[in-house]
Amino acid sequence: MSTSIVKSLCETPGHGFTDDVEFLAAYSMYFAIWQDLEATLETALAVVVQGTQADSGMLYLLNQDENRLVRRAAVGLRDACGTSVSPDEGILGRCLRRNALETAEIDAGAHTQGPQAGSVLCAPMAADGPPFGVIQITGHRGNDGFTARDHNLLQIMANSVSLAVANTLKSKDLVRQEVMDREVYLAAEIQRSMLPRPGLLDLPIRGFNRPARSVSGDFYDYFSLPDQRIPFALGDVAGKGINAALLMSKAASLFRCLGKRIDDPALILSIINQEILETSCLGMFVTMVAGVYDPGAGRLRFANAGHEPPLLRQRNRSYRTFPAEAPPLGIVPNMELCTTEIDLDGGEFYIFSDGLIEYQNGGMKEPGVEGMIQLVESLAHLPLADRLKSLLDILDRNGWEARDDLTVLAIGE
């Protein structure tokens, strides 16, 4: 829209009040679909100043973070934009609080938001909610001050610009949300690419991870060494969302790097602990079990830093748990851990995040470790490769709802 066209129409002789309303209503449709916020504000203010024959005009938007009304457009002023005022003071504040037109008469020496003495007229800007801005015009050139026509013209323009501003901000929010969704999608893809690919590794170990959200704070990993030993780990980062996912990626990357050259699980966790302490923030920490399995000897060595106790299903169908003997990673510097060694002897070893034992089934209580044991027993007849998939199928079939990421790692002969 061109301000020169607006000016010429407003100055056309014989232009009556009804025509002004129709004219402004027509331009309201243009304002409503504009995406250029600054151009909309400047043009709308020029229309108001020209139509009311005011000396100056100002348009303020509320910055809620700073609780200030910030001047975003101006006509007839030297300091065009950037000035801010308190929303609790003066005619601007009254207009905003009452969400209604406000008028005042000012003296030449009085402090005002405009340069001239005369009349001040303010209209609130609002759209489906509390007001978020004010349009102010000052210093009418006529002898009688602002008329009823000026009041109506200003109110119509304030309503039109309010809609335009609301639409523009919503569009910006949608764009930001699309960018964020894309970034979360890419982060989730990167996380999935870091997990082992069972189809490529014919190993006596399986795992799964199901995020409660798009990205996960849990991880698991395993891989084969040249001597056929299998380093493995499962971790759970405190918290959810992108921050937890980033720390998870760091811990997983550190484990894969260290697990290829360090044989002692306790030493691996000690090094990861120091790295997290030096670089993490916001009080985040990681619970983690790391170990190495020797299929040829049937021996398994592991260390536990603050994680849920791993579960050993023995050949005679009895169970042992192994509580953590050290706090989570990222809390205590120079932490000492110990490595536990067990003989699998035809049994199975399960590591899981707390999301699994806190899984919800409607109004029923959390399954806990006993529920986990019951699930394992119900699937004991299946090969290890099929067991974890069937476990997930059972949970889904019962209509359980995850409140946290679900991660399980199973090792068996």
DSSP 93-133: HHHHHHTS-EEEEE-TTS--SSSSSEEEEEEEE-SSSS--E
More confident residue, 203 or 34: 203
Compute the average pLDDT of residues 91-110: 82
User: What would you measure as the largest C-alpha separation in the chain, in angstroms?
Assistant: 103
Residues paired with residue 367 on neighbouring β-strands, in sequence order: none
Q: What is the mean pLDDT of the chain?
A: 79
Compute the average pLDDT of residues 163-170: 75
Q: Inform me whether the pLDDT recorded for 297 exceeds 70.
A: yes
What is the predicted pLDDT for the residue at 4? Answer: 47
pLDDT digits (tens, 9 = 90+) for 345-365: 889 999 988 776 666 555 556
Closest CA to 280 of 328, 213, 220, 232: 328
CA 408 from chain centre, in angstroms, equals: 27
What is the predicted pLDDT for the residue at 155? Answer: 86
What is the predicted pLDDT for the residue at 406? Answer: 80
Contact 3, 43 (CB under 8 A): yes
Q: Inform me whether the pLDDT recorded for 374 exceeds 60.
A: yes
CA 116/CA 76 separation, integer angstroms: 10
Model confidence band, residue 2 (pLDDT cutoffs 50, 70, 90): very low
CA 85/CA 69 separation, integer angstroms: 5
The residue assigned the tokens 């592991």 is 302
The Cβ-side half-sphere exposure at 344, using a 13 Å CA radius, reads 23
Q: Inform me whether the pLDDT recorded for 142 exceeds 70.
A: no
- Which DSSP category does 45 fall into? H
What is the predicted pLDDT for the residue at 166? Answer: 77
Q: Inform me whether the pLDDT recorded for 17 exceeds 50.
A: no
What is the predicted pLDDT for the residue at 291? Answer: 96
For the chain, the straight-line distance linking the first and the last C-alpha, in angstroms and rounded, comes to 76
Residue 179's CB: how many other CB atoms inside 10 A? 10
Compute the average pLDDT of residues 278-282: 72
Q: What one-letter code names the amino acid at 143?
A: N
Q: Could you give the percent of the chain with pLDDT greater than 70?
A: 73
Contact 249, 194 (CB under 8 A): yes
328 phi, psi to nearest 5 deg: -60, 160
What is the predicted pLDDT for the residue at 336? Answer: 87
Closest CA to 70 of 105, 38, 110: 38
Helices and strands in the chain: count of H runs, count of E runs: 10, 16
What is the predicted pLDDT for the residue at 309? Answer: 92
Q: Inform me whether the pLDDT recorded for 18 exceeds 60.
A: no
| Kind of pairing between the strands at 218-222 and 118-125 | unpaired
What is the predicted pLDDT for the residue at 403? Answer: 64
What is the predicted pLDDT for the residue at 257? Answer: 93
Q: Inform me whether the pLDDT recorded for 384 exceeds 70.
A: yes
Q: Which two tokens stand for residue 387?
A: 């067991």
What is the predicted pLDDT for the residue at 129? Answer: 82
What is the predicted pLDDT for the residue at 358? Answer: 65
Lowest mean pLDDT among 41-55, 95-109, 170-184, 281-295: 170-184
Compute the average pLDDT of residues 146-170: 81
Domains and CATH numbers, the chain: 3-171 (3.30.450.40), 182-412 (3.60.40.10)
Q: Inform me whether the pLDDT recorded for 61 exceeds 60.
A: yes
CA 284/CA 31 separation, integer angstroms: 47
Compute the average pLDDT of residues 177-182: 70
Lowest mean pLDDT among 62-71, 117-126, 306-315, 368-377: 368-377
Model confidence band, residue 115 (pLDDT cutoffs 50, 70, 90): very low
Contact 276, 328 (CB under 8 A): no
Closest CA to 150 of 233, 225, 57: 57
What is the predicted pLDDT for the residue at 11? Answer: 46
CA 184/CA 186 separation, integer angstroms: 5
Q: Could you give the percent of the chain with pLDDT greater than 90?
A: 29
CA 131 from chain centre, in angstroms, equals: 26
The Cβ-side half-sphere exposure at 270, using a 13 Å CA radius, reads 12
Angle at which helix 384-397 crosses helix 368-378, to 10 degrees, equals 120
SS3 22: helix
- Which DSSP category does 145 fall into? -
SS3 26: helix
Contact 314, 347 (CB under 8 A): yes
Compute the average pLDDT of residues 107-121: 57
For 102, residues 6+ apart whose C-beta sits below 8 A from its C-beta are 91, 94, 95, 121, 122
Q: What one-letter code names the amino acid at 306?
A: G
More confident residue, 193 or 328: 328
Compute the average pLDDT of residues 112-116: 44
Model confidence band, residue 153 (pLDDT cutoffs 50, 70, 90): confident
